Amino acid sequence: MEISAYTPGTFCWIELVTSDGDAAKKFYTDLFGLGFNNQPVGEDAVYTMLNKDGKNVAALYQMNEEQKSRGIYPHWNSYVSVASADETTEKVKSLGGTVTMEPFDVFDAGRMAMFQDPTGASCAVWQPNQHIGAQLTNVPGTLCWNELATNDPQKAGEFYTKLFGWASNTDSGSPPYTMFMNGERPAAGMIEIQKEWGEVPPNWVVYFAVADCDASAEKATSLGAKILSPPTDVPEIGRFAVIQDIQGAAFAIIKLEHPDP
């Protein structure tokens, strides 16, 4: 659906930090049929906006040598829309989180900050100005869900409900799944990292909507990606798969049974 504004506490933007910008751009535009627009953001630096039907849906950029030297690995960043990036980061500190990037203005687009929750998962906040975030969501090739994988759901749940004012409801599944609510709308999900997943650090997973999960997973493989979790049905939700792109960043795809209107 088309978006003109986000209610605070809503995930609004996703951004790939990668080791090879050109290769990542080709992979995602081929996989999801997206367009792109390269925006210079400094000496030899480019911020690539990915778009669908002319509307911005995500972005990617190639990390610099300083980031690589710190051992940062390719990954997707998830941004939550907030009324005040400064107030939110102060709240992060008071709740036991760690601010990894203090609030700063991104030209006239907005104001952002980044933090780690008490379990170690990274997240970003976005105070919009000229850029609200994704202008299109929940259609094939765009963001449709954000999910926290963590080693301590109780600690993470307490943190995020207090930080963003979310409500939470945990089912009795195996493993249990927590649904966060922002008012009357679902905001995100949370699941405990399972031993059989291997060495997975706490992280926010981004989900892209697709028209056919199996076909998209097969196409990702043909483009050089690795399937971490094969297409699997979730009753009454949809069919999903988890994929690692050619630089090593993980993301998920899902064919939703009932896409958000």
Task: Give the domain CATH number at 99.
Answer: 3.10.180.10
Does residue 134 belong to any structural domain of this protein?
Answer: no
Query: Do 151 and 247 share a structural domain?
Result: yes
Q: How far is 44 from 60, CA to CA, in rounded Å? A: 15
- Span 10-50, pLDDT tens digits: 999 999 999 999 999 999 999 999 999 999 887 788 999 99
Burial of 23 (0-12, 13-18, 19+ CB in 10 A): middle
Does residue 136 belong to any structural domain of this protein?
Answer: no
Closest C-alpha to 101, from 24, 43, 111: 111
Query: Do 245 and 180 share a structural domain?
Result: yes
Tell me which of 86, 101, 128 is where a domain ends: 128
Does the model's pTM come out above 0.95?
yes
Instruction: State which residues form the domain around 200.
Output: 143-256
- Span 163-213, pLDDT tens digits: 999 999 999 888 999 999 999 999 999 999 999 998 999 999 999 999 999
Tell me which of 128, 158, 188 is where a domain ends: 128
Q: How far is 74 from 129, CA to CA, in rounded Å? A: 27
Query: Do 187 and 122 share a structural domain?
Result: no
Query: Do 150 and 121 share a structural domain?
Result: no
Tell me which of 128, 155, 173 is where a domain ends: 128
